[in-house]
Amino acid sequence: MAEKQYKTLRLILGDQLNSQHSWFAKTDDSVVYCLFECLNETAYVKHHIQKITGFFLAMRAFAGELQAAGHRVIYQRLDEDSDLLSLTDKVAKFLAETKAERFEYQLPDEYRLDEELRNFCADIDQEIGVYDSEHFLSERDAIEKTFAGKKTYLMETFYRKMRQKHELLMDANGEPATDQWNYDHDNRGKLPNKLEIPSTLRFTRDATEIVELLNKMGVETMGRMKDNQFDYPITRTEGLEALEDFCQNRLEHFGTYQDALTVRHDLLFHSRLSFAMNVKLISPLEVCQRVITEWEERPEEIAINQVEGYIRQIIGWREYMRGVYWAQMPGYEEKNHFNHTAKLPDWYWTGATKMTCLSQSINESLDNAYAHHIQRLMVTGNFALLLGAHPDEVDAWYLGVYIDAIQWVEITNTRGMSQWADGGLVATKPYISSANYIHKQGDYCKNCQYDRKARVGEKACPFNSLYWDFLDRHEEELRKNFRMGMIYRVWDRFEGEQKQGILERAAWVKEHVESL
């Protein structure tokens, strides 16, 4: 490669695998594309084995597709030039070797990489070109502009603007096509016992080569990958197949049961498209349009709440969280509103707890590098918040364990929505609950060793005492919250001795959390 001179070196990051990008509209022998497997990128947190495997498989497949289309490509595997740890170290080397006159890159979605590349470009002699990734439906500064001067960011406001801007589920007058913006109240169903859950489309491939490479390079990972078999989509073609599978087989019940918790199935009616979207194999707009088309073709079978709930997650929540990220970084990763200091229990990395809800959610996360949003928010996240875990601990776990976790979407969900570490910028109240909510959403409590109804005693569900303990600890602030006054009135009705018993049980739970 060093013998060939190129005019332009273009960098492609591991989450920029967008074959529809304008860069690739035509081939140009004076341009060379580079993709690097970097040791630093495997180690800034301990990642799930399937997460690193998925990125490397997708990157390698993408590089192969570019070459097959006639583009010039440099691809460096993890064990090549491993002494060059950072991304920009590798770029500098290839700029020199290719004698490139110009360096171009697409805007990264992580703040740390954005800073690294900006600083790098300030010190090199080549011309610089910086491009949009052409993936998202809103600009980086969309949230900052929409809520300029506001103390909180209301997602619903942003979501409605996105619907109107992209004409999704809208009528000719700019109003919602079904006369209602949001159907969230219809999307909290408990899974019926006799409802058939469709099988999941999987793209199984042997990943032994990558597992052996990670072992060779001493990369520490978490989680499991049975028999080294990896089954997420890693190409655009597979991503589109997965989208079709969702629309035809699971969209019909997605909305109603998206919050359901069950030991019966690890995916339910979720789409399993988050990894494919987050590495940009498929775009949010084409996903939304395909879902709406399916609804329009089968209106008798697919109710509007199934579709609106999905569209809201993609163009509402996903885009909103990205906007919050760019409006608040880098300070957002330091936020710890409640000054929590506890560490996460070791069983977050093993799943070895007697609490069925946590065991099920964590083990599914360790087995699949995935859990649906209520498992993340109202089981693992809820427990971490009630326990008083430090947000740094929570961030590291969520960023590591999930295949779709990239900081722009992870940290705003964990530090904001889940842990309320931003003091209410994202969520109007902390998302906490006792065992009662978990029971209402599914069957986790059915055969658990702990009693979901009990607040005290060795068999009492730990969620119950921790819930009231959390409210008691933060009463001075949270009692004033307009959404929490009612629950404090319930706490007020407890007798003094009853309160004391609950708080003592919570203290015992926190002291003995590793044995729960």
**What does the DSSP assignment read for 169-201?**
SB-TTSSBTTS-S--GGGS-PPPPTT---PPPP
Q: 8-131, what's its fold? A: Rossmann fold (3.40.50)
Contact 280, 15 (CB under 8 A): yes
Query: Which is the CATH superfamily of the domain at 346-515?
Result: DNA Cyclobutane Dipyrimidine Photolyase, subunit A, domain 3 (1.10.579.10)
pLDDT of residue 82: 76
Count of CB atoms within 10 A of residue 141's CB? 12
Q: What CATH number was assigned to the domain covering residues 142-198+250-328?
A: 1.25.40.80
CA distances from 68 to 23, 65, 239 (A): 15, 5, 19
pLDDT of residue 151: 83
pLDDT of residue 186: 86
pLDDT of residue 3: 53
pLDDT of residue 187: 87
- Say how far apart CA 488 and CA 480 lie, in whole Å: 10
- Same topology, domains 8-131 and 346-515? Answer is no
- Say how far apart CA 278 and CA 234 lie, in whole Å: 11
pLDDT of residue 188: 87
Residue with tokens 């940009």: 280
pLDDT of residue 4: 62
Helices (H) and strands (E) in the chain, counts: 22, 7
Count of CB atoms within 10 A of residue 368's CB? 23
With 0-12 / 13-18 / 19 or more C-beta atoms within 10 angstroms meaning exposed / middle / buried, residue 134 is middle
- Say how far apart CA 169 and CA 292 lie, in whole Å: 8
- Output b/e per residue, 218-229; b: 16+ Cβ within 10 A: ebebbbebeeee
The set of residues, in sequence order, having a beta carbon less than 8 Å from that of 7 and lying 6+ positions away, is 30, 31, 100, 101, 102
Query: Phi and psi of 451, rounded to 5°?
Result: -90, 115
- Say how far apart CA 42 and CA 439 lie, in whole Å: 38
Domain boundaries, the chain: 8-131, 142-198+250-328, 346-515
Q: What is the pLDDT along the chain (516 residues), one digit of tens a residue?
A: 445 667 999 999 999 999 999 999 999 999 999 999 999 899 889 999 999 999 999 999 999 999 999 999 999 999 998 777 789 999 999 999 889 999 999 999 999 999 999 999 999 999 999 999 999 999 999 999 999 988 889 899 999 999 999 999 999 998 999 989 999 888 888 899 889 999 889 999 999 999 999 999 999 999 999 999 999 999 999 999 999 999 999 999 999 999 999 999 999 999 999 999 999 999 999 999 999 999 999 999 999 999 999 999 999 999 999 999 999 999 999 999 999 999 999 999 999 999 999 999 999 999 999 999 999 999 999 999 999 999 999 999 999 999 999 999 999 999 999 999 999 999 999 999 999 999 999 999 999 999 999 999 999 999 999 999 999 999 999 999 989 999 999 999 999 999 999 999 999 999 999 999
